[in-house]
Every structure is written in structure tokens, then in C-alpha cells.
Structure 1
Amino acid sequence: MERRFVTVNGRQVHYARAGRGLPVVLLHASPGDWRPLRELAAELARSFTVYALDTPGHGGSDPLPAPDPDMAGYGAALGETLTALGLDRVHLYGTHTGAKIALSLAAARPELVASLVLDGVGVSTPEERADQLAHYLPPVEPRSDGGHLVAAWHQVRNMFLYWPWYDERAASRLTAAPPPASYLHEVTTGLLEAGANYPLAYRAAFTCDPVPLLARLTVPTLVLASPADPLHAHLARLPAHRLQLETSASGTPALASRIHTHATSHTPSGAASSSCTAPSGAGSSRAASSGAVPPSTAGRVEGVSRRYVPTRLGQLLVRAAGPADGSGRPLVILPPAPASGRAVTDLLTEVGRHRPAFALDLPGTGDSDLAAWPGPGPRDGLPGTGGSYLAAEAGSGLRDEIVLAVGDALDALGVDGVDIYGIGAGAVVAVAVARLGPGRVRALALAGLPDPAVLTESEACARTPDLVPDEHGTHLLRAWHLVRDGGLGTGLPELPGGRPDLAELHRRTLDLARSWRTYAAAFRAVAAWPGEPPVPVVAADPVWDPFTAGAVRAAPGHDGTGGVASLLKALDDAAG
């Protein structure tokens, strides 16, 4: 699926899109993001154009501005998002929290909804609601021992063992087996990424009584739940005389088939086609029938914005900041892989006050793909790997592809004659990008340059072990201590007063966990030095990098240390 952003009232909404045909919009359950709906989306994309949205505050979507939004607020935000996407009328599916968001929109703005499928609708008594609000939503508070990661894993795993998850009495035990570790990993990392935002949509769902909203519906509605769903019992609490209630068959193909049947049965004859355009009233989109990309923005984003650009290795996530008039020579920041661009957000923001600035998640790190590498790579099903990336086999071939992919990203951004600031593994990539051709790069700012005499290929592999999810979540602890222990020798990031910045350790750990299959690839592949820089070099301030600790060498060239002002002046002097 292709991932994109749309901007709604200055707030970015992340979604994934695939297929052709009438528009079907999928809304995920809390506390995760769109990823658990990936298989369902792929099935439906055979017949429809599928949009899988991240709930505000989850995944890549910015939170709503209200401090404690209610379900009406989430429903209204969904309507604004559909309008920004150019979707006039859609077939809408939501599960659990997503079901109540879908219901809220359909009740308030039926003209936007051609048909509605609600999968798992909670109908709580006042006593149940009070108990859920009191116990269901423990905060995510990073701990120095990484115990908060295991607590989140336990919380998510228990959601498939007990209902509610915190009630471990035998009477609350669910009978279905829990999903595989890879699925639990996606939901858990979704919860951890949402952090302080994850309780908001939950609270809105718990406090929303769906029965009055269901009574107002005028759109064709199917309410279902599988026998394994703890909310299956809640079907009996719904007004059956007004609704189509069903026990759904287990499995993604069966669910996709039922959604397909419901949507097509409420599509006028002749409206269903392979086009993205449909007659009004049948489910329609203003997106071009050729499958053209809907608008990526609908207004300016203040501060740092995000977008995806295509490369030979898949989509690459770019964060951007800069003056409103776009003036100045662009600075491209390549973070210290395996960290994502989040590691340089403060730097990006500061540089963006003076000139256009871009921070790239290198291929395979953060939210960037490593999907189209033709050589050794992801091996789903290979014994002992869990589908993780065996980057030790890739060597310089993958490094060259990563460098070319960064070049693709610069082309997609429409920038040339740039300065590049590379840190750690990003510094090696920066030098190699400068060697792609004359004029592409004016000057380099380098920090934390890996020393190939110390950071050999075998050492790089030793510093980036497998993080394959296991059923007890211990891989998250391994990731935490990998990050924490890597910085002990050179010092951990600190808060005022000298205490470790646990929030930064948490973010760096999530960078690894989110891209566990490929997180090591860029770091391992760039262990070898690509050759001398062909452009002037500025020595820059380092960014904390636990993976190159004790294995860096000084950068030659002009001194650009001492802050952003010194850096930019040194780059200007170096570039002439």
C-alpha cells in the first residue's frame, strides 16, 4: 500500500491507499494504527480503492487540538478528512474505536456515507464504563529499566486473553488463542507511539453510548462481530429490530467478502467499475479516474511537515521545515541510522528558520521502506530469522542502492545544489551522495564519522542484532538496552539537572522496534568508507548516536560547531 499524508486545518492525517474502484475507508481499533488492517485492505483493494486512516493522535496522524475530544469531535474530524481527500461519498468500515468514529460520522453526516459496517460495537453499562475509565488506560511513562515496554506488551497481549484486559479472573478469560507475536508487536508499538494520546480515543469510545446514534442512522448499516471478539456479546445489547446484526465468520478473507457484499449491494447498478470515479450517491471520489494521487496537502502545516517520496527502494519519509517563501539553499539532514528523522527534529526546526531543511529517514529505518532491494534481503519464513533483514549478506551493493535511493528522494523533492548534514551512518551516505555527480551537493557537514578501522562489517553486525518479536515481548527490552547501553560509554542524553532523558531513549527504541525487520540494514551496509568527499567539508556538532560510540573519527574541514548559526555560516563559506 502507498502511504500518504493529507493536511486538514493545519493538522496532518496519515493514511495508506491501494486499489481501484469505489472508495472504501477503513478505521482501526485502539490502541494501534492502520497496520493491523493491512491484510483486510489488501483483500478489499482487489475491488475497491481502499483508504486506511490513522486515528488522530495515532500512527502518523497528528492529534486533534481539543485536550479531551469526544466522539463527535473524532467523527467531525473524519468528515473533514474525507473532504480534504476529495471523497464525496464512501463505503465506511470501522472496528471497535474505529466503529464508533464511523458511527458518529454516519449519524451526523449521512450524505458522506454510502454504506456502513460496524465491527465490534461496545455498549457498556454505567458501572462497566466507570470501571473501564478507571483501569483500562494506564499512562505510558518511560522507565530506566525499560519496564514500561514490557507493561505495554502485557497490556496488549492481555486484550486477547481477558475482557477487560486488566481483569484476570477465570470468568473473564477469552477462549480464542492470542494472535502471533508480529501482530501483537504492531499493536503494542502503535500504543507506545501514541503515548499520551492513546487514552483520548479510548475515553471518547468508552463514554459514547452508541444506541442513540444507531437510532438516528439513515444509511445502510451492518453491525457484526466474530465469536472471538469480546464485544460479540454486545450484539445482544443492540436494537435488533432496526439493525442488521450478524456473527461474522473468522478470518480476514471472510470479513473482506462480507464488506464487499454489503458495499456492492448498496451501490446502484452500473456504478461499480474499475474507475476511481463513481456517480454521486453510490460512493464517489473526485480523484482522477486514472488513479491520480489525491491532494497531499490542504493548507500549510506550521513547523515540521511530513511527506513520502518514491525511491527505487520504496517510499522514503521526509520531514521538512523552512521559510514560508522557500528562500535559501536547502540543507538535507541524514540522521544517525538506525535512528529516524525524529532524532534531528530540533535541528531541523532551527535550520528551517533560515533556509529550507529536510530530514530523511534512510531506507529501512523509521518509516522508510526497504522493499525493492533486488539482492539478499527480507526473507519471510527463513528459519531462525523471523523475516528480519540479513544485511550482513548485502555488502556494498545495498549501500550503493541506499545512496541512489537518497538521490531519488532529492529528485522527488525537486532540490539540487544542496548542502547535506550527515551524522554517523548518515555521514557515510552523505559523502557517497556527493559523489553521485557534480553540482548535486555544494558542501557537506559531517559529525560522528564512523571509523572503518573500528566499525568493521562484523562489528556493525554485532551492534545491530536481530530484534524479532517474541510472544513475551522481550525483544522490546533488548531494543531498549541496546540503545541505552550503547550510550553509556559516551554519555546518555540528559535533561537539565543531569538526569537521563528517558523520553529520548524511548523514541530511539521505538525507531528500532517499528522497523525491526530492516532497522540494521543501513547501518551495516555503510560500515565501509565510500572514498574522499568531492566537495568542501564542515565539521558539525554531533547528534547522540549510541551505535557508533567509541568508533568515530574527527571530520576534516571548516569548523562549523557551536550551533546552527555557526554551522550555516561555515557551510556558506565552504560553498563559496
Structure 2
Amino acid sequence: MNTITRHIVTIPETGRQVHYRRCGRGPVLLMVHQSPRSSAEYEALMQQWSAHFTCIAPDTPGFGQSDPLPQVGRRDPEIGDFADALGEFLDALGVGPCPAYGFHSGGIILVTALKRQPHRFRCLAIGGYAIWTEEEMRIFGERYLPEFHPSDYGEHLTWLWNRMLEQSWVFPWFDTREEARLSVAHADVARANQAVMEMLDAGNDYRAGYGAVLRAPRDIPTASADVPPCLITAYDGDPLQAHIDRLGAMPAGWNAKKVATPADHQAESLAFLLENGADGPLSNLAEDDTEGWLEVDGQLIHWKGTRGGDALVLHGPAGEMDEPHEDTLAIDVPGHGQSSEFDDIEAAVRIAAEELGASRILWPTPPEGNPERLYPDMAPDRFGQHLQRAWAIARAEAFFSPWYEANAANAIPLDQQALDPAALHAGALARIRSGSAARRWHDALLLINGASE
């Protein structure tokens, strides 16, 4: 199985950073995710299609680990801005004309990019293309994109869990009429949690990218347009399947069809991409040299800084890396932040230090307290209780040390910055990401610090 690697590339003209996933060999296949998700949703598909293509999946602006687009004057960016940002990304990578795949809003961005710059694409395969009616647009405009900001007591997390879980039950997610029910309803905790985590990465920036897609003109190239070929498919249960009948006349080489299952959609898409785009050239893809992911035994360690720096700076358990200072390096400790889990955290850290050329490692001191109580279970559950648990711990950490000792003897000076919802959000998100690795990192540090005394 091919390893999915992760990279950062900076757009030269603006300094905007784009995070992307890469997997496979052969001609480049561009994969654009739906909103409000990230390229992480394509990991399973990238593994499958990497036998035929070098699959490249960027986080679109404001989602995942990519910087958002700036406002244009006083307005939010529109769909053309996101389409042009895709072109900037391809130029920064050094990728010429290529095939591309997009699902739902990813397809809207791709079709817009094709209309504006058709020379960039060999073909498109699209999963569901939305052609909204005026009434549907009115409904979406009223409720579909609420502001999403951290709240003092984590109420936003309760809303988020249920919004992401129930979006497979009814569509739109807030429409609880029987007529809005979907046939693809599930209560898959892993699927819901992945969508929640991606939304937490985006924060309120999700409204710009998602809003641009919803406001996008509801059209495809005219029947007489000279554009690369495109296949649009939608499976049973996809709320956009009915929109296949709304597409109207299409250009030569374009086709739209209804299929039975998601597997059918993927198989039809792959066959079309192979037929029309598999003869493209190989590309040497660009990436930044001050941030990236080290590949160690098929796992990834996220790092920042200047290779060969004086010291590798490590964060504590249930934390994430700080921005490195001059002549230092920093990583997300394995199992934390954007780094994969490793069985032996200390060994992985030492390998990272050697690979990055750090002359020494600055090991942190673990926090005071009973590890059994410092790191409660953060595994996702059916009701999203892990989110509220993390938020409650983040608040308690601003009042007491250790956080679980809520009494006068363990009170610490109150700092209003630590109780700012944005700071609580960062602390809770770091704890959720670390999961069981936080306790293992704590135990490793006890041994490391004990050995150095």
C-alpha cells in the first residue's frame, strides 16, 4: 500500500500556504474535496487510485491546514477566486494540464476553474453537480451557514457534533421534515468524528469557502463550448442525484448519469479518468523547505523550522508545537497535532531530530499530577461527549493545577487570556487530537527526565 505523504507549498505572489496530500506514481490526478471537509476525506480513494496516478489533493483555502483567501475589498471571496486559487496551486507545484476529480462542492470549484482556464485540464470526473432552484437557494441562504465561533462553555461543540452526524439523516441538515429524509443515514462514529475534526480545523473560515460554492452560478459550459471532456455521476441516496435531470444540454464529450452506489460512482469516474487523462506527463512537485512531514516507517511527523537548527523543541503531553524561534526546529510529537501515532514515541522523536539535523533535543518536563487522571479517555463516542470532556478540561486547566484538583489548595492565578474561547478551543483541540498518545508521551518523559538526572 502506498504511503500518503503531506506537504506545504507557498504561493509566491501572495505568501499563502497550501497544504496537500500526495500518493502514488504516474501522471498527476488533481482531487478537490467537498465543503466543509479537507483532503483527508480522500485518503481511502487516494490509496485505491494511486495505482494509476500521482494523486494530489490540496486543502482548499480556509479548510484543513491551508490558509484562507483574503477578503476582496469588503466582500468575501467568490467561486472565481477559489477557482483561480486552484490554478495558483498548480503553478506553484509545477503541474501542467492534468485530469481532475471533485465531489459535490469540489466539483463546483473544478467546473468553474475549467470554464475560466480550460487549458489546465485534460478531463474532469465529478460526483454530483448541484443546480439549485431559487427556492432552494433561499432556504440555504437563511440557515445553512451559521457563524461558527468558540463559546465560553463549549456549546458550539454540541451543535457541531449533531450537525455533522445528522447531515446524513436529512438534507439540508436543519430540515427535519419527513420529506427531507435521506436513505443513506448512519451513526458511524468514526465518519462523524472525522467530519467534526475537519470543521474544527476550518473554524468560521468554512463560511467563506462553502458560501462561495453556494453562491456560484448554477451553470455548466454551453453546448457549443470547446472544453475538455467531463463525466458527472450521482448515486442513489445522494441528494444531488435528482440534479442530473437539471443539467440540460452539455458540451461535446460531456456526459451525466445516475448510478446505484458510491462504488459505482468511483468505478465510473476512474474508468473515465484513465480513458481521458492517464497519458499525461510526470511532474516533479514543489514543496516548502521550512515546514513539512518526515516519513518514518510509513508514518508522518509534522515539523517546522530550518533544517540543521541548533535545537529541536518539543511540547508537552496533550499539546501541539509552537512556532519555532530562529535557528530552532519544532515538531508535533508523534500522536499529537498533525503527526501520526508511533508505538515508540521517544525513538520516533530521536529519528526526527537526526533527520532534521538538530544538534540537541529540548525535552519538556511532564505536568504534575496523576497520569491516570490527567489524561482521561478521548475516544469519540456516539454522542460526542469526548468534545465536551476536552473543553471542560481546557477550562479547568485555567483554574487549577493539576486540573482535576478543583480546590483552593490547587488554585492558580487566573489569566483572562487563558479563558478566552479561542485559547480554550486550541487547548481542547490539541487534547482531542492527542488521544491516548498524551499519556504515553507523559510516561516516556518521566523515564527520559529520570535518566538525565
| 1:230 corresponding residue in structure 2 | 239
- Are residues 1:405 and 2:348 paired? yes
Matched, 1:365 2:336: yes
Task: Kindly indicate whether residue 304 of structure 2 is the aligned counterpart of residue 295 of structure 1.
Answer: no
Letter aligned with residue 237 of structure 2: A
Specify which of 3, 7, 10 is matched with residue 4 of structure 1: 7
* Aligned match of 2:276: 266
Instruction: Measure the CA separation in 2 of the matches of 1:116 and 1:362.
Output: 39
Say which of 91, 113, 134 aligns to 1:126: 134
Shift of residue 41, structure 1, vs aligned partner: 1.2
Tell whether the 8 Å contact from 2:346 to 2:444 is kept in structure 1 after alignment: no
Residue 202 of structure 2 aligns to a residue in which SS? helix
User: For 1:312-364, what per-residue CA distance to the aligned partner results, in whole angstroms no more than 9, with x for missing partners?
Assistant: 5821111337xxxx9x96343211221111xx34xx4xxx3xx3232211011
Aligned to 2:196: 188
* Alignment partner of 1:246 is 2:260: no
Counterpart of 1:336 in structure 2 is: 316
1:160–1:176 contact (8 Å) kept in structure 2: yes
Give me the whole-angstrom Cα distance separating, in 1, the residues matched to 2:282 and 2:258. 31
Distance 1:147 1:27 in 2: 31
Q: Is the 8 A contact 1:494 1:501 kept in 2?
A: no
For the structure 1 residues 319 and 333, does the alpha-carbon distance in structure 2 shift closer, same or farther, using more than 3 Å as the test? same
Instruction: Give the match for residue 49 of structure 2.
Output: 44
Secondary structure of the structure 2 residue equivalent to 1:115: strand
1:4-49 deviation digits (Å, cap 9, x = unpaired): 1111131211111111122211111111111222111111112221
1:203-232 C-alpha deviation (Å, 9 max, x unpaired): 110111241446546111011111211111
Question: Secondary structure, in 3 states, of the residue corresponding to 1:74?
Answer: helix
Summarize the Cα distance change of 1:310–1:212 in structure 2 as closer, same or farther, 3 Å threshold.
Answer: closer
Match of 1:142 among 138, 150, 154: 150
- Aligned residue number for residue 283 of structure 1: 280
Gaps of 5+ in 1: 273-281, 288-293, 374-397, 426-449, 535-576
**Using the alignment, how far apart are the partners of 1:74 and 1:217 within structure 2?**
22
- Cα distance 1:494–1:229, how it changes in 2: closer, same or farther (>3 A)? farther
Contact 1:96 1:120 in 2 (8 A): yes
- Quickly say closer, same or farther: Cα 1:114–1:248, change in 2 above 3 A: same
What is the distance in 2 between the residues matched to 1:335 and 1:147?
Answer: 28
Instruction: Note if contact 1:88-1:285 (Cα within 8 Å) is conserved in structure 2.
Output: no
Query: Aligned partners of 1:74 and 1:531: how far apart in 2?
Result: 52
Secondary structure of the corresponding residue to residue 99 of structure 1: helix
Q: Which of 364, 373, 376 lines up with 1:465 in the alignment?
A: 376
SS of the residue 1:285 aligns to: coil
Q: Pairwise CA RMSD of aligned residues?
A: 2.6
| Aligned twin of 1:380 | none
Q: Which residue of 2 aligns with 1:16?
A: 21
Query: Could you tell me which residue of structure 2 aligns to residue 485 of structure 1?
Result: 396
Using structure 2 for the length normalisation, give the TM-score.
0.87
Give the direction of change, closer, same or farther, for the CA distance of 1:38–1:248 in structure 2 (3 Å limit).
Answer: farther
d(CA) in 2 for partners of 1:172, 1:77? 34
Q: Deviations over 1:354-377 (max 9, x none)?
A: x32322110111111125x3xxxx
Q: Aligned partners of 2:107, 2:160: CA distance in 1, in Å?
A: 23
Q: Structure 1 residues 135 and 212, CA, compared in 2 at 3 Å: closer, same or farther?
A: same
Give 1:508 deviation, angstroms: 1.6
Q: Does the Cα contact within 8 Å between 2:320 and 2:430 map onto a contact in 1?
A: yes
Does 1:310 find its partner at 2:295?
Answer: yes
Task: Report the AA paired with residue 495 of structure 1.
Answer: Q
Q: Secondary structure in 1 aligned to 2:317?
A: coil
Say if 1:99 and 1:464 are closer, same or farther in 2 by CA, change over 3 A. Answer: same
Provide the residue aligned with 1:574 in structure 2: none
User: Contact 2:319 / 2:434 at 8 angstroms: preserved in 1?
Assistant: no
Amino acid at match of 1:415: A
Larger Rg: 1
Corresponding residue of 2:406: none
Name the SS for the 2:371 alignment partner. helix
Q: Per-residue CA shift, 1:36-66, capped at 9, x if unaligned?
A: 2211111111222111211111111111123
Name the residue aligned to 1:277.
Answer: none
Residues 240-249 or 468-477, more deviating? 240-249
Q: Deviations over 1:246-269 (max 9, x none)?
A: 123423x434322221012114xx
Distance 1:226 1:31, change over 3 A: same
1:54 corresponds to which residue?
59
For residues 53-84 of structure 1, the C-alpha deviation after alignment (integer angstroms, 9 at most, x for no partner) is: 11111111111123511111111111111122
The answer (yes or no) to whether the contact 1:339–1:512 under 8 Å persists in 2 is: yes
1:125 to 1:424, Cα distance in 2 relative to 1, 3 A: farther
Which AA in structure 1 matches 2:440? Answer: A
Contact 1:366 1:515 (8 Å CA) reproduced: yes
Which SS does the other structure have where 1:178 is aligned?
A: coil
Q: What is the match of residue 572 of structure 1? A: none
Distance in 1 (CA, whole Å) between partners of 2:389 and 2:226 is 49
Q: CA deviation at 1:526?
A: 2.9
Q: Distance in 1 between matches of 2:271 and 2:413?
A: 55
User: Do 1:6 and 1:13's aligned partners in 2 also have CA atoms closer than 8 Å?
Assistant: yes
In 2, the alpha carbon distance for the partners of 1:488 and 1:79 equals 48
Deviation digits for residues 459-518 of structure 1, max 9, x if unmatched?
32432232222232222112222333344314487336xx82221111121123334464
Does the aligned pair in 1 maintain the 2:233–2:258 contact within 8 Å? yes
Give the aligned partner of residue 444 of structure 2: 525
Q: Extract unaligned runs of 5+ from structure 2.
A: 402-411
Count of residue correspondences: 432
Provide the TM-score with structure 1 as the length reference.
0.70
Are positions 1:26 and 2:31 aligned together? yes
1:219 and 2:224 matched = no
- Pick from 405, 411, 421 the counterpart of residue 502 of structure 1: 421
Residue 474 (structure 1) aligned with residue 385 (structure 2): yes
2:376 and 2:298 map into 1 onto residues whose CA distance is 22
* 1:320 corresponds to which of 291, 300, 305: 305
- SS of the residue 2:241 aligns to: helix
Name the stretch that deviates more: 507-516 or 132-141: 507-516
* CA separation of 1:520 and 1:254: change in aligned 2, threshold 3 A: farther
SS of the residue corresponding to residue 93 of structure 1 reads: strand
Q: Which amino acid is 2:107 matched to?
A: A
What CA distance in whole angstroms lies between the structure 2 residues aligned with 1:519 and 1:109?
47
The structure-2 alpha-carbon separation of the partners of 1:188 and 1:529, relative to structure 1 and needing over 3 Å to count, comes to same
Map Cα deviations across residues 156-200 of structure 1 (whole Å, 9 max, x no partner): 122211111112112212122226111111111111111121011
Q: One-letter code of the match for 1:296?
A: E
Shift of 1:529: 4.8
Cα separation, partners in 2 of 1:507 and 1:112, compared to 1, 3 Å? same
Aligned partner letter, 1:7: T
